[in-house]
Structure 1
Amino acid sequence: MIMGLNQRRRWVLDVKSVVMLGLGLLFAMAQHTVQLRSNHPMHGIVDRVNEIGGPYIGLVMAYPPEESALITSRLFVHNSRIPFIDLAGRRFNVGKIKNVDVIYVMTGEQTVNSGITVQILLDAFDIRGVVHYGTAGSSNNSLSFGDVSVMKYVAFTGSWKWKAFKSETGQLPELDFGAFNFPVRGKNLLAKVEFTPSQLYSAGKPMEELFWLPVDSEWFDIATQLQDLELRRCLNDTYCLPERPKVIVGLRGSTADIFLDNAAYREFLFKQFNVSTVDEESAAIVMACLSNAVPSIVFRGVSDLGGGSDRLLSISRISLASINALRVAAEFIALIDKNNLVHDQ
């Protein structure tokens, strides 16, 4: 009898263990696949999108001319059954690029808009990775109009600790305003700012402080195959660049909620951080993807010089930079599909 009782106890304990393990797995799966709340009016349609296609490549851009480049290219073909879904004021377009399932969305400008939009994209849809393309200012004199940077790292350089007047030099990079007094350098009551790292939160890991946010290493390696891709030199019959633009890989980028049009700060960013492009969204998009363990890549076309020698902000240059960045992004999407690269989530 005692042996039978012990066996029953062990059996009950084993069943409890199995049940707890199953509940734990279900909870983990629910956390990973969480989507819209059940009473959201678009919940059923979102589920339908995830059933009829995917996993999708998320394609994001921030600025209307960047979306216009995609529309006029006719690369994107809308899904005939559910061509788009509107969520939180954003339109998520469902379709294909080069026969690859894609959902594209324009985030709006600056970091808050772009970060929120990417999080909605990842929460609602079955996304295998995020491709971001757009325009950027150049802080590197070796880059020319229309060139496309495939950055390897991006930093959010708009996070500062504003230090007291005559404060000691710290361990982190600093911008001393007195060094830019004109005509004579000296002290400045604005003192200096210290550039601070970003706080990265991700599932199953402690918070990390990172200054340089990496794009996905495997996706970056695939993107290196595009270095010889031919880009457009002419927008139309009346506007052409003096030289054919090129694809440059492995550069660093800078993101801040600032439109840079200042030669001194442009030079400072390049000398201090060795960044080649400046924009207002890339770091937020990469960080959202890192937090969700989703691969990301960034392609930025040079549309201006960030306050450098040629300060003219030309619509033609913006359009051409958008077209070239899109071209690289579209070819990358085709490469990803060819390589059939799937990350373990």
Structure 2
Amino acid sequence: MSSFMARLAYFACLLLPLVFATAPRAAERFDETPRIAVMSAFAPELALLSGRLAGPREYEANGVRFTTGSLEGKPVVLLLSGISMVNAAMNTQLVFDRFNVSHLMFSGIAGGVDPDLRIGDVSVPERWGQYLELVMMRELAPGQFRAPQSKGGFEFAPYGMMQPRAVRVRRPGQTEFQEKFWFEADPRMLEVARRIGAVPLRTCDAQDQCLSRRPRLQVGGSGVSGAAFMDNADFRQYVFRTFHAKVLDMESAACAMVAYSNGVPFLAFRSLSDLAGGGPGENEMHAFMGLAADNAAHVLLAFLRAWP
């Protein structure tokens, strides 16, 4: 071996440990027990469930706190996704990487879109779409817009310059992207939700501010999510007319998409804290947030009691 090759081999031996030391490693799982992951966006939505958790044990990764234990005798891991789509997607994948998640459920509040629903009602949609995944169309003349050509076309009517479109996604074992708007809830979980029957739901909040109608549970229909707080009556009507949505929020469709990409069954429980701009006065979210959060949690607990 030449002196040059000998020196090259020597330096390669020196550098090899550095290469392996800096190479990314797969995240280590905290727990291998098959668990249902239960997510909420922010603390008030998870409070009732956290208080019912038996045998809690805490873990932390990337600033996210995970709490394992059991709810209604079922092994679970609770966590906060954070508000909005990116946080929800990021932390859904994080819990999948760190735990052996058999199913994913979301519990929280939502804005009501269906005029038949009222504040306090709980909706369990059978599919979720990202209604603010958009093309901002070119304006040709005042009020006249044109979208760029799309291979598959556009399924939904636009709202002004905003043209909704599908997202591109892959599943395990797939190398090619597919375009998909609706992400379906798990059929078996939906069937159990339909069978749970009457659930005692709160009618009055902690300040004895009461609803005019007893809340009810509705399973089925569509839900939509997007990275915007919605408080506009006209856009609310468009969302109901275009997507036939029951409710809208800022996380569920992102969770559903990540669950789809990982092959994990998903279901969301959303209770109306407001009417997304459809009410007669100021937005009602802060007045009824606690009541709605508890109602969604009560339905989720009833589901777990019925879950085999």
Q: Return the TM-score normalized by structure 1.
A: 0.75
Determine the C-alpha separation between the residues in 2 that align with 1:55 and 1:209: 31
Deviation at 1:68, TM superposition (A): 2.4
Residue 254 of structure 1 aligns with which residue? 224
Rg larger in structure: 1
CA apart distance, 1:139: 1.0
Higher strand share: 2
Q: Which blocks of at least 5 consecutive residues in structure 2 are unaligned?
A: 1-23
CA RMSD of superposed structures (Å) = 1.9
How far did 1:314 drift?
4.4
Kindly tell me: are residues 198 and 227 of structure 1, through their superposed partners in 2, closer, same or farther at Cα, counting changes over 3 Å? farther
Instruction: Give the structure with the larger helix fraction.
Output: 1
Match of residue 264 from structure 2: 294
Q: What does residue 331 of structure 1 align with?
A: 302
The answer to whether residue 229 in structure 2 is matched with residue 229 in structure 1 is no
- The letter for the 2-side match of 1:319 is G
Q: In the alignment, what sits opposite 2:171?
A: 202
Q: CA deviation at 1:289?
A: 0.6
Aligned partner of 2:37 in structure 1 is 58
Worse-superposed segment, 295-304 or 199-208:
199-208
1:321 to 270, 292, 301: 292
Identical columns (%): 27
Instruction: Tell me which residue corresponds to 1:240.
Output: 210
Gaps of 5+ in 1: 1-35, 178-191, 340-345
Partners of 1:250 and 1:290 in 2: how far apart?
18
Offset of residue 85 of structure 1: 0.5
Counterpart selection for 2:54 from 53, 58, 77: 77
Q: Does 1:104 align with 2:94?
A: no
- Selected match of 1:88 from 42, 62, 74: 62
Whether the 8 Å CA contact 1:59–1:103 is kept in 2: the answer is yes
How far the C-alpha of 1:242 sits from its partner, in A, is: 1.7
Once the 2 structures are TM-superposed, how far is the Cα of residue 176 of structure 1 from its aligned partner? 4.2
State the partner residue of 1:189.
none
Q: Which moved more, 1:263-272 or 1:164-173?
A: 164-173
- With the length of structure 2 as denominator, give the TM-score of the two structures: 0.84
- The match for 1:175 among 158, 163, 170 is 158
Shift of 1:70: 2.5
**2:247 pairs with 1:277:** yes
Task: Classify the secondary structure of the residue corresponding to 1:175.
Answer: coil
Amino acid at match of 1:275: A
Name the structure 2 match of 1:22.
none
Paired letter, 2:295: N
Q: Which residue of 1 aligns with 2:87?
A: 113
Secondary structure at the residue paired with 1:165?
strand
| Structure 1 CA distance for aligned equivalents of residues 289 and 254 of structure 2 | 22
1:127 deviation in Å? 1.1
Report the CA distance shift for 1:263/1:88 in structure 2 as closer, same or farther (over 3 A): same
Q: Deviations over 1:134-157 (max 9, x none)?
A: 100011110001000010011101
SS of 2:257's partner is helix
Amino acid at match of 1:175: P
Q: Does the residue aligned with 2:204 lie in a helix, a strand or coil? A: coil
SS at match of 2:269: strand
Contact 2:114–2:247 (Cα < 8 Å) also in 1: yes
Against the structure 1 CA distance between its residues 110 and 314, is the aligned structure 2 distance closer, same or farther, given a 3 Å change threshold? closer
Distance in 1, matches of 2:207 and 2:172, equals 52
1:159-184, Cα deviation, whole Å (9 max, x unpaired): 1111111344784224343xxxxxxx
Amino acid in structure 1 at the alignment position of 2:252: S
The alignment covers a number of residue pairs equal to 274
The answer as to 2:291 corresponding to 1:312 is no
Matched-pair contact (CA < 8 Å) for 1:78–1:93 = no
SS in 1 for 2:245: coil
SS in 2 for 1:204: coil
Partner amino acid, structure 1, of 2:39: V
